[in-house]
Amino acid sequence: MAEAIDDEVDGIAKLGPKFAAIHIDKKLKVSLQLAKKHVNLLLHRLLDTNDDTDCVVWYRYLVAAGNEFYDFKSEVLKYDDASRCGLVWTANFVAYRCRTCGVTPCMSICSDCFHNSDHTGHDFNMFRSHAGGACDCGDVHAMRHTGFCSNHVPGKRSVQKPPSHLLAMAELVVPRIVYHFVLRLRKLCQPERNGSYKLTEVMKEQYTQVSQLLDDLSKMGGAMKHVICQSLCNPENYKILSSTEDLAVLPNDDKKKFKESSIDEYYAALLTLPTPSIPEILQDCPGLSQILVHTSFLQEIMFWMVKYEFPEKIITFLLSLLTDVEYKASS
Ligand SMILES: [Zn+2]
Ligand SMILES: [Zn+2]
Ligand SMILES: [Zn+2]
């Protein structure tokens, strides 16, 4: 049985990214389980190569069900239900702050939102951001709705749900992209003598392509952000993809070894975290448990962010997802 599926996946791989994606998308309309199996086996093969350029081409076609990525993006953007701007910026970006509209003193908005809203007679200023930030326009927890720009006033965005099949392939493939990204973070870890981890330029190049793809996906608006956030936060995804549970379906030993070794690297990195000794009387407090257990990709990514001393690109990506209400609540 395993061999038959393997032969089938061989045939699909030979179609190339675009036609393989169209083929699997057709299967998906008939059987979710079969399409999932094909996607997983196909993507396991891709992980074997060290060339992420090739993987990214495959991912882009698969997510878009064989359509051109940018055509797919404009289709998905029609269902952007995010009512907040959420634009993320890095150091030296020029932003605005309005004390009359702000509910919190650190409220800030991007210049587009500022110029599209009316702050006449308000106590506002323009500033150059030192550490980076995100636009609060549209967020009632950060500012009064009277200061929202015309694009982010409540009720402006369509609440229409995307057609059920539009994101069906993305729902299968995005968890795999997140998994690929986490594997790269694990594989790249080369502890220095003092136990800290540094991302060298060569390493950055290796993970940048997959993180750039995740960033491109997050720019498809609220509907796609929701799929990404589900992939990041869903404990089931993490359990199945990051454990050895699905190894049984893998047809060859190399892939098993690859996956097992990446798990070893993750555990080795976990052990390098300094753990303070806990007084005996507090040993039973769950929050003080010395064994760190991650239950979602987001948690493991946060762990690597600390290890790698907060790489800007990934932090920006994670912040850009904060317009997703469920994600904001769980992070
Ligand atoms: Zn904005
Ligand atoms: Zn706005
Ligand atoms: Zn104002």
- Residue 120: CATH number of its domain: 2.10.110.30
Q: Is 126 helix (H, G, I), strand (E, B) or coil?
A: strand
Q: Residue 113 C-alpha to ligand 2 middle, in angstroms?
A: 4
Which residues lie at CB < 5 A from ion ligand 1?
85, 87, 110, 113, 135, 137
Question: What is the whole-number distance in angstroms between the Cα of residue 274 and the centre of ligand 1?
Answer: 40
Q: Are residues 266 and 312 in the same domain?
A: yes
Task: State the residue range of the domain holding 94.
Answer: 88-147
Tell me the ligand closest to 146's alpha carbon.
Answer: 3
Rounded percentage of the chain residues whose pLDDT exceeds 70 = 79
- pLDDT at residue number 288: 57
Q: How far apart are CA 27 and CA 36, in angstroms?
A: 9
CA distance 227 to 218: 9
With a cut of 50, which residues of the chain have pLDDT below it? none
According to the model, what pLDDT value does residue 128 have?
Answer: 93
Are residues 239 and 204 part of one domain?
yes
Distance 56 CA to ligand 1 centre (A): 29
For ligand 3, the distance from its centroid to the CA atom of residue 281, given in whole angstroms, is 52
Q: How far is the CA of 44 from the centre of ligand 1 (A)?
A: 39
Is residue 106 located within the same domain as residue 70?
no
Supply 320's token pair.
């850009």
Q: How many CB atoms lie within 10 A of CB 202?
A: 8
Domains contained in the chain, number = 2
Per-residue pLDDT at 186: 82
Q: How far is the CA of 114 from the centre of ligand 2 (A)?
A: 7
| Residue labelled with tokens 């009512």 | 83
Residue 153 CA to ligand 2 centre (angstroms): 8
Does residue 255 form part of some domain? Answer: yes
Distance 319 CA to ligand 2 centre (A): 17
Distance (Å) from CA 162 to ligand 2 centroid: 23
Residue 76: Cβ within 10 Å count: 24
**What b-and-e string marks burial along 166-178, b requiring 16 or more CB atoms within 10 Å of the CB?**
bbbbbbbbbbbbb
**What is the dihedral angle through the alpha carbons of 244, 250, 253, 254, rounded to the nearest 10 degrees?**
-90
Do 55 and 31 share a structural domain?
Answer: yes
Task: Examine the domain organization and report whether 164 and 120 are in the same domain.
Answer: no
Domain end point (choices 147, 169, 198): 147
Report how far residue 93's alpha carbon sits from residue 112's, in angstroms, rounded to the nearest whole number. Answer: 13
pLDDT tens digits for 257-278? 656 667 777 877 877 766 666 6
What letter does residue 243 receive in the DSSP assignment? S
Both 221 and 107 in one domain: the answer is no
pLDDT digits (tens, 9 = 90+) for 216-265: 999 898 899 999 999 999 998 888 776 655 555 555 565 566 566 677 77
For residue 323, report the distance from its CA to the centre of ligand 3, in Å: 21
pLDDT at residue 159, as a whole number? 65
Same structural domain, 246 and 176: yes
- Starting from the CA of residue 119, give the closest ligand: 3
Question: Cα of 139 to ligand 3 centre, how many Å?
Answer: 14
Closest ligand to Cα 143: 3
> What predicted TM-score, i.e. pTM, was given to this entire model?
0.82
How many angstroms separate the alpha carbon of residue 154 from the centre of ligand 1? 14
